[in-house]
Structure 1
């Protein structure tokens, strides 16, 4: 079953096909490949370095021409021939300089196009993420709820973390992976009970990983509970289970369902799948 979790492109596998079928805009179809995969634009530092290099090139060319003129003069070369050589060299330097300026202008235009595309992508993503009309539509399937480009299943039954993970895969998804405040707010609203999510440190203690093998540190988003008594999650409490607390859930038996808590993976809890 490891091959199921090695695929990190969960979000687009099922939902992306559905959106194209419904006529919704598919950003990747307009750009040729996804926005995140596009090459970054040339930086301002790159253009500055190029301008400095061109200036040094021009200066060196002028110095070389002066040296060439002295050599020609010392060898008794006619002034007419020297003038022709100097003019040809200057014309070449001028042509190279103009070509370089055109290249810089092209780079500036590329930066403008990149920034415009970034703005368009952000607007499309915002519309998709806040579309209230898609929350209850039938595109996700029965008992699934849509939010943005994902579909979520809130289980009615109770399973331990491993069985929850396997059941999510069985129904075509995986345990929820939360990567934004908007998503966290959506999945935690109205829970009433703790729910398993797709986060664990079963392989290495303290190294929390999502079920798609992405380290938690790479997402840059965490919602661990911060205790008022100075004890914060995850704390790997071993009083109930000597093996520790190696799986994460939204909420615990004591209340706040808007935060993450580590818990014993053997506990039976509800769970949230996504696809």
Structure 2
């Protein structure tokens, strides 16, 4: 490395100066090795000195420019211009502050309106949620009502079917009742007996003997009404309604099994004395006559 540095240095040196040395000096390698560090250090110092000179030159140029500035005249009334610019800046600042305050006020109003709208929207959302819940409840109620309606329709259809069946049965019973009524009338016509009323423990019948319809010189025999009552011990009590009780027993009692025989006996007694009973009934209808059972005689009411 040292030999190459020496070669480079010799190439850069002037040949005139190199001729001052004889060949013997070039051959002395020890001196060359001593000169290389010295020359390298000198080169470094020269570079530093050059840099310092450049800095000094720049400083001198700067000083010369400041002298020119000092030699130039000052602008007239610098304080007035600064004051005017300060006023302009102050006015702009004031206008800016006012504009900012106006914007802040406008923004505050908008914020208040937004808060009001937000509260209103919140209330509307709450009301909507309530209506939604109410709608769901009404939907459930409507569904329940529909189910109940379907059940009621099914029950109504069933009741209609039962009603129709009942009406059909009622019509059948009506026809049967009419038929039975006809049979009863025919039977009563044959039996010379007509049922007037029926109770839980009493019935009223009317005996119509065959001679009842025949006319005579004295009059006609009226039907005989009887009342038959019975007790829980299967006994009956028969009583005559007509005013001809003096011809018949006033009442008859006995077991229910003898009721038919008792009615037949009353019928036979009533028909056997039909002509006399017809005359007596005619007298009762024409004249005021009273019957005294104790005397077995009829007495005009004028003699009473």
Please indicate, yes or no, whether the TM-score normalized by the shorter chain is above 0.5.
no
* TM-score under structure 1 length normalisation: 0.22
- Structure with a larger share of its residues in helix: 2
Q: Which TM-score applies when normalising by structure 2?
A: 0.20
